A and B are shown apart, each in its own frame.
Chain A
Amino acid sequence: MAIATTSRRTFLRLSGIGSAGIAASQLSGLGFNTAFAAKRAATRKLEGTKQTASICPYCAVGCGTMVASKRDDRTGAVRIVNIEGNADTPHSTGSLCPKGAATFQLAVNDLRVTRVMRRKPNATDWDDEEISYDAALDRIAELVSKTREETFVEREPGTGKLINQTTGIFALGGSTNDNEENYVLAKVARMMGIVRIENQARI
Chain B
Amino acid sequence: MATATKGMFVDTTLCTGCKACQVACKQWNELPMDDETAVREHRAFTANSYDNTGHLSASNWRHVKFVEQFSEDRVDARWLMMSDSCKHCEQAGCLEVCPTGALYRTQHGSVDIHQDVCIGCRYCVGACPFGVIDYNQRTGRVNKCILCQDRLEDSQGTACAKACPTSSLTFGNVDDLKAMAAERVRALHARGQTDAYIYGWDLGNRGTITQGPNKGAAVADMEVVGGLNVFYLLLDKPEVYSLPSSPQLPQRNMNPSAGVALISAAVLGVTGLAAFRRRRMEAVAASSEVSS
Chain A interface (Cβ < 8 Å from any Cβ of B): 9-19, 21-22, 26-27, 30, 32-33, 36-37, 44-45, 82-85, 87, 92, 94-102, 104-105
From DSSP, what is the main secondary structure of chain A's interface residues? Answer: loop
B162 lies within 8 A of A21 (CB): no
B106 lies within 8 A of A21 (CB): yes
Residues of A within 8 A of B163 (CB): 84-85, 94-97, 100-101
Q: Which of B27, B106, B162 contacts A82 (CB 8 A)?
A: B27
Q: Considering only CB atoms and an 8 Å cut-off, how many residues of chain B contact the other chain?
A: 39
B27 lies within 8 A of A84 (CB): yes
Q: Which of A22, A26, A83, A95 contacts B27 (CB 8 A)?
A: A83
Closest to B166 in A: A95
B27 lies within 8 A of A21 (CB): no
Closest to A15 in B: B30
A18 lies within 8 A of B165 (CB): no
Closest to B136 in A: A16
- With A26-B101, A45-B150 already in contact, the answer to whether A101 and B27 are too (CB < 8 A) is yes
Q: Which of A19, A84, A95 contacts B150 (CB 8 A)?
A: A19
Task: Give min CB distance, A106 to chain B, whole Å.
Answer: 11
Q: Which of B27, B30, B143 contacts A102 (CB 8 A)?
A: B27
Chain A CB within 8 A of B22 CB: yes
Residues of B within 8 A of A36 (CB): 116
Closest to B32 in A: A16
B115 lies within 8 A of A101 (CB): no
For the complex, give the distance between the alpha carbons of A33 and B116 in Å. Answer: 8
Chain A CB within 8 A of B186 CB: no
For the complex, give the distance between the alpha carbons of A12 and B29 in Å. Answer: 10
17 contacts between A and B (CB under 8 A): A11-B150, A11-B156, A12-B153, A13-B150, A14-B146, A16-B136, A17-B139, A18-B102, A18-B112, A18-B116, A21-B106, A32-B116, A45-B150, A83-B27, A96-B163, A97-B18, A100-B20
Task: Give min CB distance, A110 to chain B, whole Å.
Answer: 11
A84 lies within 8 A of B159 (CB): yes
Task: Give min CB distance, A124 to chain B, whole Å.
Answer: 22
Residues of B within 8 A of A95 (CB): 20, 162-165
